[in-house]
């Protein structure tokens, strides 16, 4: 159940060449977007190791975003978004096993020309996570440790 004044903390790993540029344009254009998205600029979405996402959740994020250039072939580095395309579905399954709702993790493609799409994504994700309430992953981990003992 969601807490009344809950403001989610969302971490976003964004490709420098596409999605980060879209987020920058959204800010410059003063498009309405929530302030609770902490952006981490990476050179390529293919450089985002799944452990970064897990660590984000472990360190208190209520949601995580990984977005990069449109595949196929639009990656600044040639094949980086193919790595993202292969890794993220596997990560989704792992997060499900840890009891993290699928709505808390978003990944995909936004080009530099799609600033409105970026702003809409952040608004929608923030609202979804507000409805879900804070992520209480630590209680899940404690529960798992108790069962193993």
Complete domains list, the chain, with CATH:
10-148 (3.40.50)
pLDDT per residue over 3-51, tens digit each?
578 999 999 999 999 999 999 999 999 999 999 999 999 999 999 999 9
pLDDT of residue 2: 47
- For residue 57, the tally of other CB atoms under 10 A from its CB is 19
Q: Where are the alpha helices (DSSP H) in the chain?
A: 19-28, 50-58, 80-97, 115-132, 137-148
Rounded distance between C-alpha atoms, residue 53 and residue 145, angstroms: 21
pLDDT per residue over 76-135, tens digit each?
888 888 999 999 999 999 999 989 999 999 999 999 999 999 999 999 999 999 999 999
Rounded distance between C-alpha atoms, residue 109 and residue 17, angstroms: 12
Cα of 75 vs its chain's centroid, Å: 19
pLDDT of residue 75: 85
Residue 73 has pLDDT above 80, yes or no: no
Q: Is 107 helix (H, G, I), strand (E, B) or coil?
A: strand
Residue 72 in contact with residue 81, Cβ under 8 Å? yes
pLDDT of residue 27: 96
């Amino acid at each position: 159940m969601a807490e009344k004044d809950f403001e989610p903390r969302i971490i976003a790993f964004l490709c420098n060449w596409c999605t980060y540029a879209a987020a920058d344009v959204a800010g410059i254009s003063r498009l309405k977007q929530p302030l609770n998205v902490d952006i981490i600029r990476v050179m390529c979405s293919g450089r985002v190791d799944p452990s970064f996402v897990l660590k984000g959740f472990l360190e208190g994020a209520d949601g995580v975003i990984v977005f990069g250039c449109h595949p196929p072939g639009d990656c600044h580095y040639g094949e980086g978004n193919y790595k993202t395309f292969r890794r993220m579905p596997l990560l989704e399954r792992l997060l499900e096993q840890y009891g993290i709702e699928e709505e808390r993790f978003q990944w995909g493609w936004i080009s530099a020309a799609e600033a409105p799409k970026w702003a809409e994504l952040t608004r929608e994700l923030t609202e979804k996570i507000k409805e879900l309430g804070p992520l209480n992953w630590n209680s899940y981990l404690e529960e798992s440790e108790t069962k193993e003992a």
